Amino acid sequence: MKTNGVKILLQKYYDGLTSSREESDLEEYFLNGQVDPELEADKLHFLAVAAMRDVEIPVPDDLEASVLNTLKEAQKDRVHGHRRIMYLAFSVAAGLLMMVSTFIFLSRQNQTQYISDPKIAYAESREALEMVSKFFNEGTSQLSGLSRINQAVEPLQKLNSLDKAAKSLSILGKLQNQK
């Protein structure tokens, strides 16, 4: 085979366009005979490929489990990506909800109504105060049990006077011991 023909086949080989017959011709040229000195690097390539062809590459026993674990991790990452997107969407929705509710609140603040008739104003005020009184009474009705606690604590106040008397006696005892 001539050098020019080999160069053309090599170009096709490196572009991935050669047939199996053309690849066999290239291997035969580089492995069995004199090679042009400018194609010496290509000869080394074909020698390495030929040497690798005879080597059996061992397949690990846990290859299937390893591949499945890798796929599961990739799927988890995809799920976490979905969670991030959902978190971002909820954050944006919450922000928009806050902005809309603030706008509505502020727009209603400007719409305060003034009652010009004193009788109607009095009736509205009375109704509002009665409602507040009702809720206040309901809330404080639960506190009626506190008076019973005060009654239970009163006998304990007598212990306070006993404590004072005991301190006085201990001071007297110390004074008597010093004499």
> Would you say residue 21 has pLDDT above 70?
yes
> CB–CB of 36/6 below 8 Å?
yes
Return the half-sphere exposure (C-beta side, CA atoms, 13 A cut-off) of residue 53: 7
Report the alpha-carbon distance of residue 23 to residue 70 in Å, rounded. Answer: 36
Please name the residue that has the structure tokens 């109607």: 120
The domains of the chain are located at 3-54
Helix, strand, coil in percent for the chain, rounding step 5: 85, 0, 15
With 0-12 CB in 10 A as exposed, 13-18 as middle and 19+ as buried, what is 13? middle
pLDDT bucket at 165, cuts 50 / 70 / 90: confident
pLDDT bucket at 112, cuts 50 / 70 / 90: low
pTM of the model: 0.34
Report the alpha-carbon distance of residue 15 to residue 130 in Å, rounded. Answer: 92
